[in-house]
Each structure stands twice: as C-alpha cells, then as structure tokens.
Amino acid sequence: MMMNIDFSLVLVILVALSGLIWLLDSLLLKPGRLALAEEARRNRPASRAGEPDQSRNDGLAREPVVVEYARAFFPVLALVLVLRSFLFEPFQIPTGSMIPTLNIGDFILVNKYAYGLRLPVVGTRIMDVDEPRRGEVMVFFPPHENQYYIKRVIGVPGDTVRYEDGELYINRELVRKEPRGGITINSAFGPVPGTSWTEVIGGVEHTIQTKNQLMRDPVRTLWVVPPGSYFMMGDNRDESSDSRFWGVVPEENIVGKAVAVWMHKDPGWNLPTFSQSRWIR
C-alpha cells in the first residue's frame, strides 16, 4: 500500500485556478488598468525636473498581487503536471508488502508512459504504448479502495494463477524458486522465522520471502485472469494484501511501472540517503 494523497488532482486544480486568474486579468482587467494609467499620464502635470511623474501611473498599471503570483506559478505548475501525469512520478513506500525488493521508506520513480499515456485524475488512456508483463513491478489502484498500491505482476489476461502452501503456479506450471537462506520476517504478530528465495517470473529474476510452513496462513487461491485485468502479488508473500484477497486489478486502475529507487529515508528524524538507489527488478 502507498500514500493516497491525490497530487494530480491538487495540481490540476492549482493549474486551472492560476491559469484562469491570469487569463481573466489579461482579457478583462489589464486593458482597463493600462487605459487608466495612460489617461493619468496625459492629465498629470510635469514634475519639477520637467519629466512626467510616473509613480502614480505605475501604481495604476501594476497588476494585483494575486495575478502576479498566478502568472508566475502557472507555467511552473503546468510543467510539473505534465511531468507527473505523462512521464515520471515519485512515490514513497509506507509498508513492507514488497520486502525485500522494496523497503519501508524507499522513494521510487514510476514510469507513467510505460503502459500508455493517461489523462490525469480520471486515468483514461489516450495512447497505447505497452502492456504490463509478468514479473514487472506496477503501481495501481486496487478494486476495493482508492489508494495507491505497488505489487508484482503475476498473471496477465487469460492466465490461470494458483497459490497453494507457498507454491505459485501460472498456467498449471510451478514457478521455480531457489532458497537463499533463512531470515526473520517482521509479521503483524512479531518476528517469525522465514526463508528468502530467488524466483523468476516472465524472465525477471527477483527475491521473495515467505514464512516457514508452520507460521504460514493456509492461503489457497485459483484464478482465471479476465480480459483487461491483472493478478498482483507482493514479494513479501505472507505479509501482503494483494489479488489473493481482493481480486484482480482492472486495466483502467493502472498508474505506471516502478523502475527505480532514487532515495531512502528511515522513519522518524532520519536524514534521507542515496546509498540505496537502484533499479527495480
């Protein structure tokens, strides 16, 4: 799960508001201010130095503070909106469902155009680029709540996905994984013993972790992924709320492809660090 502040909506509102203020002033108010200033210039007597007194004229022509700020911020906000909506957007990881691939406090960069260009806020796709593939890490909105989630793509449209006793099957084939060693997993009930594994899905080699069998919930699911939908799972397999519990993700809920960790900050009064920057696999 990820932060659910809708920055795109906030940016759209700010861009629209600043642009509207600037436009209305340019069309309706500015011509009147300039006309008053010109009339005052013609009617005002010359100063002692023989030159017209410009101070009052400048005051009449000066735009209001709110218009000045709108004119200054509109191009900046518009550029940020375009970058966030169509190119790249940063997110922070608040939970451990993708450990060990992503840690709590990681700041990730999401490619917004990898799966097609979408309109901000509404998410309507306006240009096809590519489709999500098995093994990729994707940011999306789950079907049951309006929050950003990040998980790994396990099943694409038409796939049959089964997960039983810690084993993953895609289209009736067991997804092979090799043990890396024993670890301790921080569960909701405290530290429990587990195992780290190397897994390959869709040609993408990555690391997952599972609880030891006696500590594992008996999750058994069998899904046929419908058209335009995707089956998602976290790499922290026994500590992840994902498609095994709330179903598949529809195509219109896709946000983008997670491509890199660019910064990390531990919770609390800790300084951010760039030492953990890496590509996401």
**CATH number of the domain that 153 lies in?**
2.10.109.10
| Same domain (yes/no): 116, 19 | no
Q: Would you say 232 and 221 are in contact if contact means Cβ atoms under 8 Å apart?
A: no
Q: And the tokens for 97?
A: 């469902």
Compute φ and ψ for 209, nearest 5 degrees. -140, 145
**19 in Cβ contact with 74 (< 8 Å):** yes
Strand partners, 173: 170
Same domain? For 70 and 138 the reply is no
Of 233, 192, 237, 187, the residue nearest 212 (C-alpha): 192
Whether 116 is covered by a domain: the verdict is yes
DSSP tag of 183: E
Residue 260 CA to residue 279 CA, distance in Å, equals 4
Q: What angle do CA 146, 150, 155 make, to 5 degrees?
A: 105
Same domain, 262 and 191: yes
One-letter identity of residue 160: T
Q: Please give the tally of structural domains in the chain.
A: 2
Could you tell me if residue 20 is inside a domain? yes
Q: Do 11 and 41 share a domain, yes or no?
A: yes
Say whether both 76 and 103 belong to one domain.
Answer: no
In whole angstroms, give the CA distance from residue 24 to residue 35: 17
Q: DSSP letter for 95, please.
A: S
State which residues form the domain around 235.
Answer: 93-279
CA-to-CA distance for 208 and 98, rounded, in angstroms?
Answer: 8
Query: 12 with 151, same domain?
Result: no
Give the model's pLDDT for residue 37: 64
Query: Is the domain of 193 the same as that of 132?
Result: yes
**Per-residue DSSP letter, 248:** P
Among the candidates 20, 51, 86, a domain finishes at 86
How many CA atoms within 13 Å lie on the side-chain side of 37? 16
| pLDDT tens digits, 235-278 | 999 999 999 999 999 999 999 999 999 999 988 888 889 888 99
- Work out the angle at residue 149's Cα, subtended by the Cα atoms of residues 182 and 214, and round it to the nearest 5 degrees: 30
Closest CA to 219 of 235, 240, 199: 240
pLDDT digits (tens, 9 = 90+) for 76-127: 877 777 777 667 888 889 899 999 999 999 999 999 888 987 776 666 777 7
Q: Tens digit of pLDDT for each residue in 4-49?
A: 556 667 767 887 888 888 888 888 877 777 777 677 777 765 544 4
Active site residues: 97, 151
In a domain, 227, yes or no: yes
Is 142 among the domain residues?
Answer: yes
> Model-level pTM greater than 0.85?
no
133 and 267 in a single domain? The answer is yes
